[in-house]
Amino acid sequence: MRVIFLSSYVYVDVADMDIGTYVKEAKSLINKNVGLATGVALVWSGQFKNMARAWGRLKLIIPITLFIVCLLLYANTKSWFKTGIILLAVPFSAVGAIWLLYLLGYNMSIAVWIDLFLLFCLH
């Protein structure tokens, strides 16, 4: 027996917010206001799916990279105290970077998060 699934696509171009925020708000509105019939599935894909996949990788890569950065700082300074002082400067550079993103009106995307992460690692 051959099963055929019908599908429909809705294309959305988001200009004033990041795709993650848009999908989060859209999901909550759909769950609250639209009742899906039995056998109907709603799948979010496109940029959102790519972003979710990238976040999954970043959750693994970021802690490993931070650990390596700490080890390299310790190898350079030979002191955990000095390493800690250097790492305490990172939140201040993060605050400055986030304020600049806000003032320039940038949306938070994977590219922006990776750039911020590189800023923290190369600080």
**Top mean-pLDDT range of 7-21, 80-94, 104-118:** 80-94
Question: Is this model's pTM higher than 0.85 or not?
Answer: no
Residue 89: CB partners within 8 Å, gap ≥ 6? 123
Long-range residue pairs from 86-91, CB within 8 A, at least 24 positions apart, any chain: 86/123, 89/123, 90/120, 90/123
Q: Residue 119: is its pLDDT beyond 80? A: no
Interval 8-53: pLDDT, tens: 888 888 877 878 888 889 889 988 998 888 888 888 888 888 888 8
Q: What's the token pair of residue 117?
A: 């992460």
The mean pLDDT value for 97-117 works out to 82
CB hemisphere CA count around 17 (13 angstroms): 10
pLDDT given for residue 122 in this prediction: 64
